[in-house]
Chains A and B, each alone.
Chain A
Amino acid sequence: EAQVTQNPRYLITVTGKKLTVTCSQNMNHEYMSWYRQDPGLGLRQIYYSMNVEVTDKGDVPEGYKVSRKEKRNFPLILESPSPNQTSLYFCASSLIRPGVYGYTFGSGTRLTVV
């Protein structure tokens, strides 16, 4: 089944403890992206990658890191999480560009930082 897989689905952590949210797609998509979803703010892009080893900042990149060493994987790293990073996170992929082909989203990771 063609899909984007995120792990974990739920995570509660403490301020300052480094964490990684994994994302993997099996559709050979070139473009991958991370979004956070907050009530009343919609979906805001954190980082995106147009291909292997090519990443760039989205609208809200502060406090996050990403890497794209393989085409299928695009992990999101929070080096020192803070409570304002409590949110619902989505990984998404697109064949080439989402403005042409649209996105396939993962099921989300609900992160709580206390």
Chain B
Amino acid sequence: QQQVKQSPQSLIVQKGGISIINCAYENTAFDYFPWYQQFPGKGPALLIAIRPDVSEKKEGRFTISFNKSAKQFSLHIMDSQPGDSATYFCAASKGSSNTGKLIFGQGTTLQVKP
């Protein structure tokens, strides 16, 4: 019940296209859903996050869509650029819990071709 399942494992998109990465969770107590972006040789960095009181959050070309009933959330990268090539991790947590532990998905390696 603590798992977060992420797909696809890898993704190749043409420049200007839309990249979509999906995550599914089981624990209905989760209330914080961030996405992290990791470039080669670097640690993950917080990209965008959503809480379940909204169905969508947009920051520039990055959008999180959240479906509470389906227990799924996804990251959409509009007008994908070669500079977006990175590994993306979704995560989930019960923020109000004593530990506030983040559970990460398996990661998606995105390659945007020029």
Contact = CB atoms under 8 A, between A and B. Distances in A.
B49 interface: yes
A97 interface: yes
A100 B107 CA distance: 21
The size class of the interface chain A forms with chain B is 20 to 34
B93 A98 contact: yes
A48 B101 contact: yes
Contacts of B96: 99
A7 interface: no
B25 interface: no
Nearest to B44: A105
A81 interface: no
A90 B101 contact: no
A74 interface: no
B44 A98 contact: no
B107 A99 contact: no
Interface stretch (A14-22, A39-47, A61-69): A39-47
B91 to A, nearest CB: 8
Given A42-B104, A99-B94, A99-B102, A107 B42 contact: yes
Contacts of B102: 45, 98-99, 103
Contacts of A98: 93, 100-102
Given A42-B107, A102-B49, A90 B100 contact: no
B99 A100 contact: no
A32 interface: no
A82 to B, nearest CB: 23
A96 interface: yes
Interface of B: 6, 9, 31-32, 34, 36, 41-46, 49, 89, 93-97, 99-102, 104-107
Given A99-B101, A100-B100, A103-B44, 12 more contacts: A31-B100, A35-B104, A43-B89, A50-B99, A56-B99, A98-B93, A98-B101, A99-B32, A99-B96, A102-B49, A105-B44, A107-B42
